[in-house]
Amino acid sequence: MLRYIARRLLQIVPTLLGISIISFSLLYIFPGDPAEFIVEARYAVEPTQEMVKKIRMEMGLDRPMLVQYLDWLSKAVRGDFGKSWTEDKPVMDLILERLPASAQLFFTTFAISIAFAMLLGIISAIYKDRAVDHFCRIFSLLGISIPSFWLGLILIWIFSVQLRLLPAFGYGGIEHLILPVLTWSFSFMAIKTRFVRSCLLEALSQDYVITARAKGLPERIVVLRHALRNALIPIITYFSLSISHLIVGSIMVEVVFSWPGLGSLLVESVFKRDFPVVQALVFISGVLFVIVNLVVDILYAVIDPRIRYGD
């Protein structure tokens, strides 16, 4: 087991390096001279040759790319992403300021989506090809197809403008949370519902389920204890990986509902060309994904010994 964990840890090193290279390169991938971006973002004036030269030296942009990258990486692993070009604050402070709002929105959506996705997925699988299954599938299809900003506006129109039940925007009490969560959950649960359905259907077609049924076990026990338990492993993996949405998954929802989270911070930073913030968010998001993936893989191996291939 330890060997398996060690191997997985080693395997993520190149992935993390790849993420760091991509995050760092964002500054250079975007067209234009980074020094000019800084002058424009910082001073909002036309960049002169002298200013550009001064900034290049000040920010170390005149050094070889590899040196710049290693310098950036050594600071990034310590949580130091430098200062925002536009806000005059450390990038990490900006991210931490927005994190609570993003976490609140994400975890509420996550909990609700999982509960409903499980429920609808199980119902859909049990009643395969019947009316309720068709309903659940259409519901999922709509969830996948309808853009979040469109649904958000529709919900505002109904619940805020017409019925005057809920606020149209803002961050604060539970009433502010309802519409953004509803909007995001709709698409969030749609794919998961289909995934639960297909995993459960696959499990239900296995020999051990036939055996369980042949033993005369009640269908409830067959589905929940035998089929669902076995189907849960990929479902948990899939659900866990959704945690990466915490950082940037809710961009449209945050913009529509003026929710002061990390998604809107990313959008603002991209528009303002505030690259340190963009780099940090991309990097953290990627690292979070890899770490969650690793934890899930290890748990997976703990739950199912067949996974430990090389052990």
Partner 1 sequence: MITRRDFLKYMTLGSATLLLGCAKKTPIATPTATPTTPTYKAEFVLGYGKDHRLRGGKWGIGFFPKIHVLERLVEYDLKNDDYVPCLAKKWEVEQDGKVLTFELNKGVKFSDGSEFDAKAVKFTVEWLKINHPLGSETFESAEIVDDYTVSITFKDAMFFNLAKMAEFHMSIMSPKSVRPEGDPKGEFVLPIGTGAFKVVDYKEEQYAVYAPNEFWYERFGIKPKFKRFVVRFIKDEDTRVMALKSGEVDAISDYSHGGSDYTPRNQLGLLQREGYKVFKRVIPLTWIIAFNYKKEPFNDVKMREAVDLAVNRDEVVKIFDNQVLPARTLFIEDAPGVKEAGVTYEYNPEKAKQIIDELGCAGIEVNMIVDKAQSDQILVCQLIQQQLKDIGINVNLEILETGAYKQKRDAGEYDMRLYYIGGTDRRFYLRMFWRFHPARKWKAYVSERTGDLCEKILTEFDKEKRKQYLIEFYRAIHEEHGVVPLYFDIMTTVASKNVDISYEDMFHYPNGIPFGEPLFYAVGVREV
Give the phi and the psi of residue 208 in degrees, each rounded to 5: -65, -25
Query: According to CB under 8 A, which residues from 121 to 140 bind partner 1?
Result: none
Closest CB 252 distance from partner 1, rounded Å: 9
Closest CB 58 distance from partner 1, rounded Å: 15
Report yes or no: 248 and 266 within 8 Å, Cβ to Cβ.
Answer: yes
Query: According to CB under 8 A, which residues from 212 to 251 bind partner 1?
Result: none
Considering the rule CB under 8 A, would residue 161 count as an interface residue with partner 1?
A: yes
For the chain, the distance separating the N- and C-terminal CA atoms, rounded to the nearest angstrom, is: 6
Which helix (DSSP H) or strand (DSSP E) does residue 250 occupy?
Answer: none
Considering the rule CB under 8 A, would residue 157 count as an interface residue with partner 1?
A: yes
Q: For 176-212, b where at least 16 C-beta lie within 10 A, e where not — what string? A: bbbbbbbbbbbbbbbbbbbbbbbbbbebbeeeebeeb
Q: Which is nearer to partner 1, 169 or 300 (CB)?
A: 169
Contacts 24+ apart (CB under 8 A), 305-308: 307/4, 308/1, 308/4
Q: Single out the residue of 2, 10, 14, 46 in contact with partner 1 (rule: CB under 8 A).
A: 46
Q: Single out the residue of 45, 66, 131, 174 in contact with partner 1 (rule: CB under 8 A).
A: 45
Closest CB 275 distance from partner 1, rounded Å: 10
CA 289 to chain centre: 8
Q: Which stretch binds partner 1 (CB under 8 A): 14-22, 42-50, 109-117, 194-202?
A: 42-50
CA 30 to CA 21: how far, in whole Å?
14
Which helix (DSSP H) or strand (DSSP E) does residue 244 occupy?
Answer: none
Closest CB 194 distance from partner 1, rounded Å: 24
Q: Which is nearer to partner 1, 179 or 189 (CB)?
A: 179
Closest CB 160 distance from partner 1, rounded Å: 4
Closest CB 281 distance from partner 1, rounded Å: 16
* Residues 12-41, mask of contacts with partner 1 (x by CB under 8 A): ------------------xxx---xx---x
Closest CB 276 distance from partner 1, rounded Å: 13
Burial (CB count <10 Å: 0-12, 13-18, 19+), residue 81 = buried
Overall size of the chain counted in residues:
311
For every residue of 39-95, DSSP letters joined together read HHHHH-SPPPHHHHHHHHHHTTTTS-HHHHHHHHHHHHTTT---B-TTTSSBHHHHH
Q: Single out the residue of 64, 78, 164, 310 in contact with partner 1 (rule: CB under 8 A).
A: 164
Closest CB 241 distance from partner 1, rounded Å: 29
Considering the rule CB under 8 A, would residue 104 count as an interface residue with partner 1?
A: no
Considering the rule CB under 8 A, would residue 160 count as an interface residue with partner 1?
A: yes
Q: Single out the residue of 20, 23, 68, 86 in contact with partner 1 (rule: CB under 8 A).
A: 86
Q: How many residues bind partner 1 (CB under 8 A)?
A: 43
Considering the rule CB under 8 A, would residue 255 count as an interface residue with partner 1?
A: yes
CA distances from 259 to 36, 86, 116, 160, 285 (A): 31, 20, 24, 16, 19
Report yes or no: 229 and 281 within 8 Å, Cβ to Cβ.
Answer: no
Considering the rule CB under 8 A, would residue 264 count as an interface residue with partner 1?
A: yes
Considering the rule CB under 8 A, would residue 156 count as an interface residue with partner 1?
A: yes
- Chain residues in the site for partner 1 (CB under 8 A): 30-32, 36-37, 41-48, 85-88, 97, 147, 149-150, 153-154, 156-158, 160-162, 164, 167-171, 255-258, 260, 264, 271, 273
